[in-house]
Amino acid sequence: MFHFRFSTALKECLQAAVKRPFPRRTEQSWSAAPGSLRRFASGPRDAAAAAALRAAAPFAAPRRSYCVKTEGAAAEELEEQLKKDGGEGEKRRHAGILPSLEDLLFYTVAEGQEKIPAHKFMTALKATGLRSGDPRLKECMEMLKESLKKTPDGVTLDRHLFKKCVQSNIVLLTQAFRKKFVIPDFQAFTSHIDQLYEKAKKLSGGQVADYIPQLAKFSPDLWAVSLCTVDGQRHTVGDTKVPFCLQSCVKPLKYAVAVHDHSTEYVHSFIGKEPSGLRFNKLFLDEDDKPHNPMVNAGAIVCTSLIKQTASNAEKFDYVMNYLKKMAGGEYVGFSNATFQSERESGDRNFAIGYYLKEKKCFPEGTDMTSVLDLYFQLCAIEVTCESASVMAATLANGGICPITGERVLSPEAVRNTLSLMHSCGMYDFSGQFAFHVGLPAKSGVAGGILLVVPNVMGIMCWSPPLDKLGNSVRGIQFCTDLVELFNFHNYDNLRHFAKKHDPRKEGGDQRQQIFGPMDYESLQQELTLKAPLWRKVSPTETDQDSSTTVVYRMDKPAE
């Protein structure tokens, strides 16, 4: 039995195929050439593809490659070698020896057939978590639609047409079908999400908020969960297309906009960073006569006054709306004028807070307090659906870059600050309990929404109008708690030693750990599908950066 250590260099080699820019395509990463460094996933599923790979072997130049832990200059040297390898692979592909990425994708979906029904491709795409309406796949979907018009039956695609359809988005599609997204086995993961949804659906406690008359009109039976990963994988269950108002869920978003526009120092010269320990709508300031944090009403009102200070309210509102639409990847963001009017008419407590803030000189100089309150009420009345709000949460999870458009919306500094405050102050008087049990940044609103962020993994929006006595969605709290009990998403779950929980980032999809774990030669050959070269231990070496020992492996042509 041989034990293999997955080094940094090997990891880089395994990931090189889908990271390298086009037009240079890295088909060599799938080649079966003895003596060459390559990357394998599940491999082609049909005999034709396997034959194509085997046919490549006799033409490859014999070579020995070494895998070591590389840092700095060594990593650059590896990258240069990969570029050379890519050039050789390109030449061999044009010579008709190696299949292209488009060919391999066709073989994967076709499963031995000469043509692919369009619906089969769409079903396979959905299983990866990608949607046909994903903005990143726009060219592919448009070409697919046009190509089907030219086919005799209007349903199936041959290999040539399929390649033409996918070539503009081949990198994204290759990542999806080779399970290289953050949640590799997306169907298994979403089946768990559906089970958690059904469990929370059975809860019947809580009361729909009625202090704002428009909110009292929502049915207590409404319940929805949507998620979006940092790779743009989407899943929804329940009443996810019903619009509802963000209410307090807008507080972290406008705080992020304020920090993005100004700076952390400027914003927090007006607002504190500490949990207040009091109800969110208390007339109370810290010892410096500043609101405790941007997640309570006093802090959110002051935060509103910092946005586009010299502009009119109309311009300010459009400015924030444009930010939210970018965070949502262009999905639904609307406005409920009825809720705005209702909230303004019943907003005596917020007016009292506003005058108190004015008395304590908490606003920037020259601020019109009543105008700020109007904008504050308007921002609370911005409408979203669970689906669009989950993309907003995913933008926060992705460091400020919208996953489905690739556009940077917020600075990393603004996102880090926002998530920190959501973690400590985002759940009203339940913030400490939520941080303890769930351990994730979140923000709730009295409309029944909970905006949940799993940093570097996904964003989730739960929505159900019935609230508990602290103002949080009863079903939403239950879902978030169950989610972290099942998966190791809690910030302080130890990913290595917390064996009782599932890690969907590896489950069913991290083939690199499966392939390069302890196994014998025969098992390794089976895992790599073809008669691939085998790694064998050469010698240990000491790294320059530290005293840890790194084992070196050599890839040799296997003995006949």
User: Exposed, middle or buried, 540 (CB in 10 Å: 0-12/13-18/19+)?
Assistant: exposed
pLDDT of residue 527: 43
DSSP code for 385: -
CATH class label, 192-486: alpha beta
pLDDT of residue 226: 98
The answer to whether the bond into 465 is cis (omega within 30° of 0) is no
At 94-153, the pLDDT tens digits run 555 567 889 999 998 988 889 999 999 999 999 999 999 999 999 999 999 999 988 888
The more confident residue out of 74 and 407 is 407
Maximum average pLDDT range among 69-78, 297-306, 530-539: 297-306
Number of H helices, E strands in the chain: 22, 15
Q: Are residues 482 and 199 in contact, defined by beta-carbon separation less than 8 angstroms?
A: yes
pLDDT of residue 61: 38
Greatest Cα-to-Cα distance within the chain, rounded to the nearest angstrom: 87
pLDDT confidence of 532, banded at 50, 70, 90? very low
Q: Give the span between the Cα atoms of 333 and 323, in whole angstroms.
A: 10
pLDDT confidence of 40, banded at 50, 70, 90? very low
- Which tokens in the block code for residue 68? 């070591």
Domain ranges (residues) in the chain: 101-178, 192-486
pLDDT of residue 97: 53
Helix (H) or strand (E) holding 443: strand 442-444
77, 331, 402 from 134: Cα distances, Å: 37, 10, 12
Residue carrying the six token digits 């607002």:
271
177, 289, 473 from 465: Cα distances, Å: 38, 34, 6
pLDDT confidence of 88, banded at 50, 70, 90? low
At 429-443, the pLDDT tens digits run 999 999 999 999 999
The more confident residue out of 27 and 112 is 112
Backbone angles phi, psi at 280, to 5 degrees: -60, -20
Asked if pLDDT for residue 278 goes beyond 90, the answer is no
Q: Give the span between the Cα atoms of 241 and 331, in whole angstroms.
A: 11
Count Cβ atoms below 10 Å from residue 314 Cβ, excluding itself: 10
At 285-309, the pLDDT tens digits run 889 999 999 999 999 999 999 999 9
Asked if pLDDT for residue 522 goes beyond 60, the answer is no
At 154-194, the pLDDT tens digits run 899 999 999 999 999 999 999 999 999 999 999 999 999 99
Average pLDDT, integer, range 326-355: 95
Asked if pLDDT for residue 48 goes beyond 90, the answer is no
CATH class label, 101-178: mainly alpha
- Which tokens in the block code for residue 422? 């959501």
Give the pTM: 0.75
pLDDT of residue 38: 36
At 441-488, the pLDDT tens digits run 999 999 999 999 999 999 999 999 999 999 999 999 999 999 999 999
